[in-house]
Structure 1
């Protein structure tokens, strides 16, 4: 396995300084490392595109939870895309994507608060791994796009294409409803499996997405399987179907309705019996509700999330999320954002029964806690340069012990997310 790659803010500054003179103004170029003296642009014209980004998230528990302290986590992603049409002069040759990912750090949720929804969306799977090796092209008609290989199904399904949800730092918002991956073989970045994804444009506004992915719990999150494309122990296949509607016009919107089914046999929660298959459904919405006619680019978007999963096998059965994002809050800050969101994760009643029974058998009193973990998050995205975003963040966690059956005080967490594009 390749040695781990560690990127820190100090190293980022060193990289920027080393390329500042060669590639022009550090503050205005689109990426941290610039155009490499023109080589980067030339390679992309020839069919080889390099990408990379870093995110660092620091969270401090200021009140409640388990402990007063801070935790830091980071994610590094490096990729290269090969355009076979450009490289070999092919007609519709397609593209090959190779991506490598590395994560390091510590969890504020596990160490400081004791809640279920990760306060830092980039925490988890702390090792270097292959996250994608895929081939993508249109097939038969420009309306039909096919992608197959080793990849995370959540890259193309289960989230909003607009990226509105990653104006937040908590994984409950940024990415996908977590009961999808928690209660089935669904995999979100950076966890990947073998699979195929199909997109078909029914019209300019409507699109159908269907996929099939191998389910292999023994490889998911296992560092010894970081570079193995093939499964270790297949339990079934997960098949998501998603209908997408893109509303055009002055107030654009995005609507997704999805269903997924995992054919794996798994143990029923609170029982030694197995259940054959598990599934769920979801609805995701991003709708512009206001545009400032006097200041182009300033707009207010509202979003909503609802997902429900198998009561037999999912740790939490429902997720509700809603909020607003203001783009261009100030005339002089065209790329900044202000985001406010509320989320509610409902534990499976079967899981709660298991916790209550365990407390009773141990002669302990089960705490009088709410039926759900709740989250309120406020963030400000400050686009310092085209390649650097700084996001101060405040999260208030209500009933952090709802999933563990522990009486934990509500927690107030302040944080900072740093994102840089190489």
Structure 2
């Protein structure tokens, strides 16, 4: 049996209190100056840990706790520094390892993952890519990578002030109803970024669609596809507003050329797509305290009614940066989300229940999520995030009558 080390919140707290670091920005420090020298030569090592514990205190399926973790290690090679060439580009190599158990599957029975780092519980290659500027305004990136690294989410990172995957990342109905894949699932692809103006950018990409490799441990180190079904083509227009109250706005569309079966039918649909709108806008900032500000975010995403398990996602919320003067890197966040199941999926469940001589419970039209979190920056490399989630109609997607669930969580993030 292979031993896999488990990094727990208690271990990290012990390390933070006993390890004297010359460079406190990371857990492992500057390696006696070696890390800084390597970076100056063009080799940058990165690493981080995320551990998420969730306890279902009321409702759902069972009262208990579940823990999941993700460890990511990476290295970036700046070819310009390494070989003395102008704008030679960068090579990125990343590896992920995930372990643990799902609070959503085991304890609540809902669709939106309570722990955003759960899924694909094995060690895998998550990126081997090459990026460079073709012109001052045009950047190309190609290789083996996750789509969400560059598209479908907000660059500001505001959404990862939450623990639920409904917020942190891109809207989940994208991956539920097309070849768009969730991180850390990676595929062969290419991405272009073109600066239309100082505040405007156009992003275009093409990725191989290979559902057989998603979450498949036997494909963890295979760059090539197992079974290609098509190509997914995302297009994204980005506007970044500057000034005292900055903002980020994304309007996107994607099309998957795969031929897939329609929900509730033996017929197939050739091609499926969707669109989305993402917003992060500062509402207030404190002139007397730089960095202290209140941001609002919004998400809207619509996907194919022919093939997506849920067709709409709505999300909105606020994040207060530096809620206290003495805590400049802390955050306080509140969000609301609504995931709407495809009526065709419910019709399929209802037909199966009638055939079995059973009834189907009368449920609300969507699973809803309320989440409140506080990000406590314990050190420059350690963040602790107590979290509360209230899930309304957890059985909306499975057509099960499950009581609303109250979940308490703790997310721990550390930078190596």
Q: TM-score range by the shorter chain?
A: over 0.9
- Give the drift of 1:7: 3.2
Asked whether 1:330 is paired with 2:324, we answer yes
Correspondences of 1:363-378 after superposition (within 5 Å): 363-378=357-372
- Unaligned segments of structure 1, at least 5 residues: none
3-state secondary structure, aligned to 1:401: coil
Q: Pairwise mapping of residues 214-293 of structure 1 onto structure 2 (< 5 A)? A: 214-293=208-287
Give the drift of 1:13: 5.7
Instruction: Normalising by structure 1, report the TM-score.
Output: 0.96
SS at match of 1:269: coil
Q: What CA deviation, in whole Å up to 9, does each residue of 1:136-182 have, x standing for no partner?
A: 0000x111000000000111000000000000000000001000011
Contact 1:101-1:190 within 8 A present in 2 as well:
yes
The answer to whether the aligner puts 1:100 opposite 2:101 as a matched pair is no
**Alignment partner, residue 78 of structure 2:** 83
Kindly indicate whether residue 170 of structure 2 is the aligned counterpart of residue 176 of structure 1. yes
In 2, Cα distance between the equivalents of 1:246 and 1:282?
A: 17
Decide which of 310, 315, 318 is 2:312's aligned counterpart: 318
TM-score (normalised: structure 2): 0.98
**1:167 and 2:161 aligned:** yes
Q: 1:17 Cα deviation (Å)?
A: 7.4
Alignment correspondent of 1:157:
151
What is the alpha-carbon distance in structure 2 between the residues aligned to residue 17 and residue 252 of structure 1?
37
2:22 touches 2:30 (CA, 8 Å); kept in 1? no
What does residue 131 of structure 1 align with? 126
CA distance in 1 between partners of 2:330 and 2:231 (Å): 41
Maintained 8 Å contact 1:4/1:127: no
Secondary structure at 1:385 match in 2: coil
Mapped partners of 1:376, 1:327: distance in 2: 19
Contact 1:75 1:104 in 2 (8 A): yes
Question: Please, which runs of 5 or more residues in structure 2 have no aligned partner?
Answer: none
Q: Does 1:68 align with 2:39?
A: no
Aligned residues: 415
Is the partner of 1:260 in helix, strand or coil? strand
- Please state how far the C-alpha of 1:187 moved relative to its aligned partner: 1.5
Q: Which residue of 2 aligns with 1:24?
A: 22
Residue 46 (structure 2) pairs with residue 51 (structure 1):
yes
* Alpha-carbon distance, 1:6 to partner: 4.1
Tell me by how many angstroms 1:292 deviates: 1.6
The aligned residue for residue 295 of structure 2 is 301
Residue 415 (structure 1) aligns with: 409
Tell whether the 8 Å contact from 1:155 to 1:188 is kept in structure 2 after alignment.
Answer: no
User: Structure 2 CA distance, aligned partners of 1:175 and 1:220?
Assistant: 17
Partner of residue 337, structure 2: 343
Match of 1:114 among 105, 109, 116: 109
CA distance in 1, matches of 2:17, 2:256: 49
Q: Give the whole-Å Cα distance in 2 for the aligned partners of 1:70 and 1:14.
A: 22
Match of 1:188 among 161, 175, 182: 182
Are the structure 2 counterparts of residues 397 and 13 from structure 1 closer, same or farther at C-alpha, using a change threshold of 3 Å? closer
